[in-house]
Amino acid sequence: MAAMSEDDLIASFFAPLAGEGGLGLADDVARLALSENHELIVTTDGVVAGVHFFADDPPASIARKALRVNLSDLAAKGARPLGFLLTLALPETWTRDWLAAFAAALGEDARAYHCPLLGGDTVRTPGPLTIAITALGETPRGTMTARTTARVGDVVAVTGSVGDGALGLAVRHARHEAAPPAWIAAIGEEKAGALLQRYLEPLPRACMAEAVRGWASCAMDVSDGLVGDLRKLTAASGVSASVDLDLAPLSAAAAAALAADESLARQIFAGGDDYEILLTVAPEHYDALAAAARAAGCGLTPIGEITPVSEPFRVMWRGTPAAFGKGSFSHF
């Protein structure tokens, strides 16, 4: 790699991505003005090679995943994106071509989701490629949809489909195996490719932010697994839940995989990487929220209800109570 200073790197690859508040990346800070009577909503997520993605994944996919997992958090809070900060720790093996592809895809997503780059930091690391993004958004004052406000009697619902990301990770692993799982061959290359794409480049439900803020009583994104994230939501809200996973929305590819191997239920419902929105909504508001989801093109599916904390957390699958352990991915 030819010598390139940090200033040159920023000027070449990232200054063209900067929004107005980023001041051309010529300063050590960004400057933002919030809309009148709005609050700042902040989230941060890091992704690490070998943990959240494969080091040889396409740089464009790595860039999109790094930004989109943060946009997913903003969407679940009902927040409009304002911009993001990027910290990029590059290993010794980075190249101009890799960084150019990474920056181009990052810029495309920044424009598509109206979330410009505001600043950040670039460093070298002796370890794996590490990307940390802090995304900033805003909501009208007092309207953010929290994780702590589910109410007894609320409908539990989830956008889109679940399980694709976890199954896509299995497909990605199988590309390095001499004998991939039989279910991958059973569903065919087209469906396996669709699952892989959902793993490589998740789809944050940014188009649902306004509807979530307007109708949902409580929400979070599904990043670590549907069952486990629902446990987190109910614990934070001081309630319980009763859900039927037979009602959970599956894509055609995930449904085919499950039909081929029913043991995949654990990966589908507890594997993570969905980046859908798990929410609760008062029954009288469900139809309005579901209509908004249909209009946004992602759909909304009811899977159960919020119950009093005195009742057990109940998960049904195939007509019987099911146990999924922690029900989610954990780093520790």
* Residue numbers belonging to the annotated binding site for ATP: 120-121, 147, 223
The two structure tokens encoding residue 76: 């679940």
Phi-psi region of 24 (alpha: psi -120 to 50; beta: other; left: phi over 0): left
Alpha-carbon distances, residue 270 vs 64, 311, 326 (angstroms): 23, 22, 8
The SS3 call for residue 271 is coil
Q: Apex CA 242: angle with CA 240 and CA 243, to 5°? A: 130
Of 161, 143, 162, 269, give the one whose Cα is nearest residue 216.
Answer: 143
Binding residues for Mg(2+) are: 28, 43-45, 73, 121, 221, 224
**φ and ψ at 90, to 5 degrees?**
-95, 135
Contact of 195 with 250, CB cutoff 8 Å: no
Length reported for the chain: 332
Binding residues are: 28, 43-45, 52, 73, 120-121, 147, 221, 223-224, 273, 329
Taken in order 6, 11, 17, 18, the sign of the CA dihedral is positive
Secondary structure letter of residue 235 according to DSSP: H
How far apart are the C-alpha atoms of 53 and 199, rounded to whole Å? 9
Of 44, 203, 56, 73, give the one whose Cα is nearest residue 134.
Answer: 44
Rg (CA), the chain: 20
Q: How many CA atoms lie within 13 A of 72 on its CB side?
A: 24
> What single-letter amino acid sits at 30?
A
Binding residues for substrate are: 52, 273, 329
The two structure tokens encoding residue 307: 């119950």
